[in-house]
């Protein structure tokens, strides 16, 4: 894998701010169920969007306050402090407890953690937008799923997929990002846009 230059501190801070702003604009729109998130009935799978994983009252932008990111430079100590503060807030982002134990289907992008020599992925992070955790800082913990597929997945890094399985509110730090959820995935399939209703 090619090593890409690390983004500057000011750029990384901007990525974090954009991640917070774009939390709902990851993959093409998936028709959301208008009912509030609840635990699924045993055996029933519910298609969800990334917003369903965030508590309704959580505001990821509150730590930015009135800071004008365009005025910060890499050498500015305010940039380093704000970056640290934002990453801590993202790493400790609260999860939606109502999703614990839910059987769900969600789209996202693969960030491999464990692979076989054949290239099949046996453990990965699922993230809501392309480049997260690899080319940009990780999104909030409530926007990262640590996935353990039942069968090794034949995909590559940053492939768009649908993942179906049981969600657990379990925090883990893989070094690529802090995940607020774990999923034991029954299936990992190539992403295709849902049919219009």
- Count CA atoms closer than 13 A to 139's CA, side-chain side: 30
Q: Tell me, what's the pLDDT at 17?
A: 55
To the nearest whole percent, how much of the chain has pLDDT over 70?
Answer: 73
Backbone angles phi, psi at 89, to 5 degrees: -65, -40
148-162 b/e with 16+ CB inside 10 Å = b? ebeebbebeebbbbb
User: What is the residue whose two structure tokens read 């009935």?
Assistant: 41
In which band, very low, low, confident or very high, does the pLDDT at 2 lie, cut at 50, 70 and 90?
Answer: very low
Mean pLDDT (the chain) is 80
pLDDT digits (tens, 9 = 90+) for 86-140: 888 899 999 999 999 999 999 999 999 999 988 899 999 999 999 887 777 899 9
Q: Tell me, what's the pLDDT at 36?
A: 45
Give residue limits of the domains in the chain: 9-190
Is pLDDT of 186 > 80? Answer: yes
Domain 9-190 belongs to what topology?
Answer: OB fold (Dihydrolipoamide Acetyltransferase, E2P) (2.40.50)
Residues 6+ away with beta carbon under 8 Å from 9: 74, 79, 80, 83
The length of the chain in residues reads 197
- Residue of 195 and 40 predicted with greater confidence: 195
Average pLDDT in the 136-146 region?
Answer: 92
Cα distances (angstroms) measured from residue 84 to each of 13, 124, 152, 164: 9, 25, 35, 34
Residues 6+ away with beta carbon under 8 Å from 153: 110, 120, 121, 122, 124, 161, 188
43-63 b/e with 16+ CB inside 10 Å = b? eebbbbbbebbbeeeeebeeb
- Residue of 188 and 29 predicted with greater confidence: 188
pTM to 2 decimal places: 0.76
Beta bridge partners of 165: 104, 185
pLDDT digits (tens, 9 = 90+) for 11-35: 444 445 545 544 434 444 333 333 4
- Residue of 66 and 74 predicted with greater confidence: 74
Q: Tell me, what's the pLDDT at 82?
A: 79
């Amino acid at each position: 894998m090619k090593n890409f230059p690390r983004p500057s501190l000011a750029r990384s801070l901007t990525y974090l701010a954009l991640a917070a702003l774009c939390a709902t604009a990851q993959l093409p729109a998936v028709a959301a169920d208008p009912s509030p998130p609840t635990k699924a009935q045993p055996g029933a799978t519910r298609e969800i969007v990334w917003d369903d994983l965030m508590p309704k009252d959580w505001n990821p932008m509150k730590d930015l306050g009135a800071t004008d990111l365009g005025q910060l430079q890499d050498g500015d100590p305010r940039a380093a402090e704000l970056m640290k503060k934002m990453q801590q807030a993202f790493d400790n982002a609260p999860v939606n407890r109502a999703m614990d134990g839910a059987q769900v289907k969600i789209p996202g992008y693969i960030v491999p953690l464990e692979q076989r020599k054949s290239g099949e992925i046996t453990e990965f992070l699922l993230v809501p937008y392309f480049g997260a955790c690899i080319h940009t800082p990780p999104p909030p913990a409530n926007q990262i799923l640590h996935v353990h597929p039942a069968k090794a997945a034949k995909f590559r890094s940053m492939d768009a997929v649908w993942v179906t399985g049981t969600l657990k509110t379990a925090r883990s730090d893989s070094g690529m990002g802090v995940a607020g959820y774990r999923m034991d995935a029954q299936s990992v399939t190539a992403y295709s846009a849902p049919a219009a209703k």
